[in-house]
Structure 1
Amino acid sequence: MSVPWFERVVAWYGSLPGVAQLVLVAVAVFAVGSVVGRPVIDAVQWRRGTSDAVKEAVESSYVALLAIASVLVGFAMSDVGSMPAATGAVLAAATLSAGIGARDILRNTVSGLLIANTTDVSVGSWIEWGEYEGTVQSISLRQTKIKTWDGESVLVPNSELTNNAVVSPQANGVYRVDYEFGIGYDDDLQAAKACLREEAGRIAGAASEPEPQVAVSDLAPSTVNVQVKVWVHQPTPGKAARVRSALLERGKERLQAEGVSMPKPIRTIDGSVALDREGDRGGYHGVQ
């Protein structure tokens, strides 16, 4: 026994162009899938301990998969084979463009999940990557928001952070601050090192363990360079900056108080000056 309204719907559907059939089926499948899948998405998203990035990833991934499935079902249930060649070419080009865009979205999505489940990179973390550094403000599915020391907010694609080396100065709970002091060749090297070691141990915020280290790092043309290393426990950008500033100030003042010279670099300029006199007038031709 046939159902008249169903036959009319089938006949109407069959009279539609192939593209219209594809769009109609895809929209219908996507709508049904959205309603049916919502309880599952909500259950996963509101699990205890699930991060915001993972919640966003679950919903975005489900929507993306549902959209792909809807298009595939639309192709299977539509008469796209009868479409004109021009229409098929346009549809193929659109599909290719969507695929290229989906590739970048998928790459950043996977990267966002990796970052969200990494303990070394989280909101509030101090990180360095490439030529940049700053504090993580938020982590979303596709990008990470970072505040630089200049107060600028930078939106970094997640794939850039996962595909490149990222340094986390806070990860191990200790951070090294160092500086090179240049002293004269005629000065007492051991006395200068002792002064710098003593001052490094008095810096507020610097760790007593590991102990400060003072060692000759280079024999420059005009100075003997002495590197001083101190460590900071539970480092923050501000704490590290204060310790470094104190190291420079205390080291300089102590060396000057002890009469230790800190010569400036010697620069030698080679060349010659040519003068060309024409009549009673001289002309300067510069350094050659």
Structure 2
Amino acid sequence: MTGQIAPPGWLTDLLAAYEQVLSELFWFAVGFGVVYLVSRLVLVPLATRAVRSRNRNNPTIETAAKTYLRVVLIGFAVLTGIIAAGYGRVLSESAVIIAALTFVLGIAGQQVFGSLVSGMFLVADPDFNVGDWIEWPGGSGTIEAVDFRVTRVRTPNHETISVPNTELTTNAITRPYGRDRYRLTEQVYVAYYEDTERALLELQQVVTTLDPVLDEPAPNTRIVELGENAITVQAEFWTDDPGNRDIQTIRSDFRRLVKRRFDEEGITLAPPSAQLLSGGLTVTDRTADAPDASGR
């Protein structure tokens, strides 16, 4: 009978090491998966429902609570997986790991923590809510969500952009509307020799013909500047929720109608330069009156 050949010692050690690694990965996955699934399927919906019931008129808190709760629960799931894999003692006793984590968080996580804190300030601001139309130095649009690092904004071109929270907290934010309406301001430059009162009247008539313009507040027109080369007149009017309107199309329609109306009424828009030349040029053919070669 032939005896079995035992594997060499190094192979036995290698298999044992692989078995230990696979065991640790298995328990990490079990610990992480259980906590993550329970939190995702049970805790997050319950917490979101509770926040929604207490803040029915403020969807910003609901979306922010869901985002931050998920981040915290993922961190807790990772920690649970590490402990289940048998590395809990290493985390609590290894000064090297603690120092490395502190260094990484201090260098790489500085901007992330800044965005997180900025996002918390935005959520706590009662005048900053999901669905609001805002303008800041980098653009304008409707707030869709306040996330962990960025705020998602839908632009007038129906594009969703991610704006860093720090940009919104460090810059001035304008809200040119009264919650459910949006104010549009358009300026037109009229030549000095034109009847300004008639220009204001025609501008008012153009505004009233636009379908999206609200009757209340009433549109108004005024002279805002006596410039060097032209008089600046301004039309101010309101439309409803900008989330339901194409603001750029409204502006384009207004400018198109102003140009057509002013052309029909003979009102000259401001010339492109400081001088406006006018007059005519007459060309006379004198060859018929000139003498021929014989002098006749």
- Give TM class, smaller chain: 0.5 to 0.7
Equivalent of 2:171, from 134, 145, 164? 164
Is 1:47 paired with 2:50?
A: yes
Task: Decide whether the 8 Å contact of 1:45 with 1:58 is kept in 2.
Answer: no
Gaps of 5+ in 2: 1-23, 54-61, 276-296
The match for 1:283 is: none
Is 1:132 paired with 2:139?
A: yes
- Describe the SS at the equivalent of 1:229: strand
Distance 1:221 1:77 in 2: 74
Superposed counterparts of 1:1-288, under 5 Å: 41-42=43-44, 43-45=46-48, 47=50, 49=52, 51-61=62-72, 64=75, 78=93, 88=96, 92-116=99-123, 120-122=128-130, 124-149=131-156, 152-169=159-176, 172-236=179-243, 238-267=245-274
**Alpha carbon RMSD of aligned pairs, Å?**
4.1
The match for 1:12 is: none
Between 1:257-266 and 1:150-159, the stretch displaced more is 150-159
Gaps of 5+ in 1: 1-23, 82-87, 269-288
Letter aligned with residue 245 of structure 1: S
Distance 2:266 2:121 in 1: 55
How far apart are residue 60 of structure 1 and its match?
2.0
- Describe the SS at the equivalent of 1:57: helix
Q: Closer, same or farther in 2 for the Cα pair 1:209/1:61, shift >3 Å? A: same
Task: Decide whether the 8 Å contact of 2:177 with 2:183 is kept in 1.
Answer: no
Distance 1:126 1:225 in 2: 27
Letter aligned with residue 251 of structure 2: R
Task: Decide whether the 8 Å contact of 1:193 with 1:226 is kept in 2.
Answer: yes
- Describe the SS at the equivalent of 1:155: strand
Larger relative strand fraction: 1
* Per-residue deviation, residues 78-136 of structure 1 (Å, max 9, x unmatched): 3x57xxxxxx5x863442112444444444334444545656431x5443222222344
- Describe the SS at the equivalent of 2:272: coil
TM-score by length of 2: 0.60
How far apart are residue 257 of structure 1 and its match?
1.8
Letter aligned with residue 52 of structure 2: G
How far apart are residue 217 of structure 1 and its match?
1.6
* Per-residue deviation, residues 193-228 of structure 1 (Å, max 9, x unmatched): 222222222221112222222222222233222212
How far apart are residue 150 of structure 1 and its match?
5.1
How far apart are residue 52 of structure 1 and its match?
4.0
Q: Closer, same or farther in 2 for the Cα pair 1:236/1:63, shift >3 Å? A: closer
Letter aligned with residue 213 of structure 1: N
Distance 2:108 2:171 in 1: 22
Letter aligned with residue 200 of structure 1: V
* Per-residue deviation, residues 35-88 of structure 1 (Å, max 9, x unmatched): 5xx6794553553627243123124235557989999x858963x57xxxxxx5
- Describe the SS at the equivalent of 2:50: coil
Percent identity reads 23
Distance 1:77 1:174 in 2: 56
Q: Closer, same or farther in 2 for the Cα pair 1:54/1:233, shift >3 Å? A: same
Q: How many residues align?
A: 231
Q: Closer, same or farther in 2 for the Cα pair 1:131/1:226, shift >3 Å? A: same
Q: Closer, same or farther in 2 for the Cα pair 1:259/1:107, shift >3 Å? A: same
* Per-residue deviation, residues 217-241 of structure 1 (Å, max 9, x unmatched): 2222332222122222333474433
